[in-house]
Each structure stands twice: as C-alpha cells, then as structure tokens.
Amino acid sequence: MRAADISGDLDRVLVTEEEIHAKLRELAAQVEKDYEGKKLLLVGVLKGAVMVMADFMRCLNREVVMDWMAVSSYGSSTKSSGVVQIRKDLDTDLGGYHVLIVEDIIDSGLTLSWLLSNFASRGAESIEVLALLRKPDAAKVEIDCRYLGFDIPNEFVVGYGLDYAEHYRNLRDVAVLAPHVYA
C-alpha cells in the first residue's frame, strides 16, 4: 500500500520506500566492512522491525544469523509508557556473537535502553544498534546508534512496519498519521 492509497489518513510522507531502500543498502555496506570476519547476530525487535530486518538482510552479502525479540511499551497508545514487557525472548545464546539490534525507530529510547542493558548481561562480544528512524526531540535517554537511517520530527508516524493499533504496517512509505485517526 502506498501513501496515495490512504491519503485521507495521513498528513504527509516523510520518507519514501525508495529512500529507505537506498539508505539500507548504504548501511549494509558499512556493516559488512565493520563486521568482516566476525560472528554477527542480527536481533530484530518485533513487530515494527520486520520490514527493516527483511530488507536490510537482503542487502547484506555475507552470512548472518538472526533472532527476534518482542517487547512492548506502547500497547495501543501513541506514547511509550516506559514499562517494558517481554512478549518473546531470544532463542539464541548471545555468547560469542557480535549483536546488532535492528530497530524500526528510536523514539523515547526507553525500550532500547532497557534492551541494551538486558543484552549486556548475556555475554555478547559487542552490542550495537541499527535504526531506520530516530526522533531526536523525543529522546528521554541517550542511545548510541551506530547505524542510522533518518532523523525525523517528533510526530506520530506509521508505515514500513510502524503501526497505530496494528494498522498501517504495510504502508511502503513512512508518513505522519493524521491526528483525526487517533484522537
């Protein structure tokens, strides 16, 4: 689904699918250099990172292992509660791996900060973050994001895996959701 298909629900498009794919190719090339000869584990954060993870992995020209973790701090709200609930833990022992957390968006940073702390206690060789999007003005904690796609304004966005109450994940672009949809 493209933004034109649901234009009445959106204020404006921030990042197009084409821009996203170009950026993921660029980030993949850098990750390949940085992790050459290292045992790399990509950890996707469900459900939002599904699109980013799938497209990013297809850009990599190397063997890589992936796993998924599901955590929640939003529910059906548009703001993070800051209370992290594990819905699905990792299946992989992090020992011996260089872990790259693949995120759709860094908003307040609270959930990701919790994940970084949690993973640090599990014996990974290193832990870094790749995020497609970041809202610098929404940050409540500072997150060191080694691989970043785009900084965006502090507005509620949907598309490319990002949702509102489980809707709009299949929008190919990232767009600002019109307030009348969630007000």
Q: Is 107 a catalytic residue?
A: yes
Beta strands in the chain (DSSP E): 10-15, 40-46, 65-72, 85-88, 98-106, 126-134, 147-151, 157-158, 174-177
The dihedral built from the CA positions of residue 58, 62, 147 and 142, taken in this order, carries a sign that is positive
pLDDT at residue number 76: 52
For range 125-132, the mean pLDDT: 98
In a domain, 82, yes or no: yes
Q: How many folded domains does the chain comprise?
A: 1
CA distance 100 to 182: 33
In a domain, 11, yes or no: no
In a domain, 70, yes or no: yes
In a domain, 182, yes or no: no
The CATH number linked to 118 is 3.40.50.2020
Q: Write the pLDDT tens digit of every residue in 147-175.
A: 999 999 999 999 999 999 999 999 999 99
Range name among 38-47, 53-62, 72-81 with the lowest pLDDT average: 72-81
% residues pLDDT > 90 (the chain): 89
Q: Which domain holds residue 143?
A: 16-153
In a domain, 3, yes or no: no
pLDDT at residue number 79: 58
One of 55, 107, 163, 173 is an active-site residue; which one?
A: 107
In a domain, 170, yes or no: no
For range 115-131, the mean pLDDT: 95
pLDDT at residue number 80: 55
